[in-house]
Amino acid sequence: MSHTPTSSAPSGNATAQQEKKPILTGVRIKQRKGQAKAASKFEPESFRDALLLHLFLLPTPITVDSLVAKLVQAGATLEFLRYYEQLFEVLFLGGLLQPGGSYLDDKRSPVYIVKEGEREGPMIVETLKRVIQRYKYLQKPLEENFLPSILGYIHKWSPEARTKLAEALALIIVDLQISPRCLSSLVKDHVVKDNIALDFLTSFFKTFLSKQNVDVLGSTLRKSGLKDIALVFPIQVRDKRHLAEHFSKEGLEKINEWYAKVALGESEKETVANVSRMVNEEETSEQMIETLKTQQAEAPVTDADLVEWIWHGLMRALDLSGARADQSDSMVVHHITTYAPVLEAFCNGARAEVNLINAVQVYCYTDTRVIKAFPQILKVLYNADCISDQAILYWHSKGAKPQGKQHFLKVTEPLIKFLEAQESEEE
């Protein structure tokens, strides 16, 4: 008896039935809140109008407390993070801007920083401080996006509006601890033109210095990315003379003093690097002296400062890393003997000579490998006419630096006795 074999594979109809998915009808899938926001239409004018409705309900006179309360109330329904740019435009400028920096229309807030005839900047800054404490997510877009962008448009506004914005920016940086990186926007050509950036920065300086000292201002400028404040001067007057004249006229002598100090520091770095390079390239003493005198003529600096910088450059070029302890002294003495003529060319006057001795003292104190060589180095410099007996005696009696002072005074006593005896014989 035969049986017909049956297949275990499913038929076509069975496969279709298995693959068919059930369909839910009448069920709504709830969209995530973040997805709904992302998909919603971006309507800056609607946001502005809604914000202005809140601000026009402010009681008069407007105070920081009432303004903060109204903004917090608005923040409960309006998307401050999504419309941060429009929020700041209303608070700073009173209305919305279109691309290019011009106002979009005539709608204005009843209170904003650059409002003509009013002085509402300090109130808005204090308001911003308290609002950002509540909505911390607003600080980053303020300092990284809005402020750098808005400073590129200051040429569009009146001198009064620019001054108010500069004063408010100084308060924002001081009181809100906002990054000063936005100041680097002032070097753009269209902002530098017609003294716009210079006048803005001058107003900024005056307000900042009314709150903080010049050292804090200097630290702020270093963090700002504004490499040199001279860059805000129009190119035809971008020099130290015009800079000094401008800030003297504006009663900002502290800026001139700070800038001179900064410029001196830059000259020092350049000189030390140049001297080290010339030594490594084995230039002669005559070539080095000629280069340094040219540099001094282009950027005037006293011999007292220059001779100290030359010393630092010479020592930077000396590599003692592979030397044994008993070799370091002789290597330093030989190095100084070789380049003493370079130092001698700029050791003009008692102050320059004492500065050089102190530079040697600090170097020997810092690098203990050569601390014993100090008296020998002085002898080399004395024999090369870099320093005089009077300079050495003055240094020993009252001119030494505090670093290792007692040690260095003690080890130079034999030299001092010799010089004093010599001086007595000459008398």
Helix axes 84-93, 44-55, angle to 10 degrees: 50
For residue 33, name the pLDDT band (cuts at 50, 70, 90). low
84, 146 Cβ separation under 8 angstroms: yes
pLDDT at 6: 47
Tens of pLDDT along 117-135? 889 999 999 999 999 999 9
The boundaries of every CATH 1.25.40.180 domain in the chain are 41-251, 267-426
Q: E strands within 47-143?
A: none
> Residue 185: is its pLDDT beyond 70?
yes
- Average pLDDT of the residues of the chain: 90
What pTM was computed for the model? 0.76
> Residue 21: is its pLDDT beyond 90?
no
pLDDT at 59: 93
The set of residues, in sequence order, having a beta carbon less than 8 Å from that of 124 and lying 6+ positions away, is: 67, 91, 92, 111, 112, 113, 168
pLDDT at 39: 55
The set of residues, in sequence order, having a beta carbon less than 8 Å from that of 218 and lying 6+ positions away, is: 258, 262
pLDDT at 404: 93
Mean pLDDT within 293-314:
93
| CATH class name, domain 41-251 | mainly alpha
3-state secondary structure 4-62: CCCCCCCCHHHHHHHHCCCCCCCCCCCCCHHHHHHHCCCCHHHHHHHHHHHHCCCCCCC
pLDDT at 300: 85
d(CA 148, CA 180): 9
What six digits make up the tokens of 27? 């069920």
Tens of pLDDT along 394-415? 999 999 999 999 999 999 999 9
In 3D space, the residue among 73, 201, 72 whose CA is nearest the CA of residue 138 turns out to be 72
Mean pLDDT within 253-273:
93
H/E segment holding residue 181: none
> Residue 20: is its pLDDT beyond 50?
yes
> Residue 17: is its pLDDT beyond 80?
no
| CA-based torsion, 314, 315, 317, 318: positive or negative | positive
Tens of pLDDT along 73-107? 999 999 999 999 999 999 999 999 998 888 999 99
> Residue 108: is its pLDDT beyond 70?
yes
| CATH 1.25.40.180, domain 267-426, yes or no | yes
Tens of pLDDT along 309-341? 999 999 999 998 888 877 889 999 999 999 999
Mean pLDDT within 358-362:
96
pLDDT at 10: 47
pLDDT at 5: 47
pLDDT at 93: 96
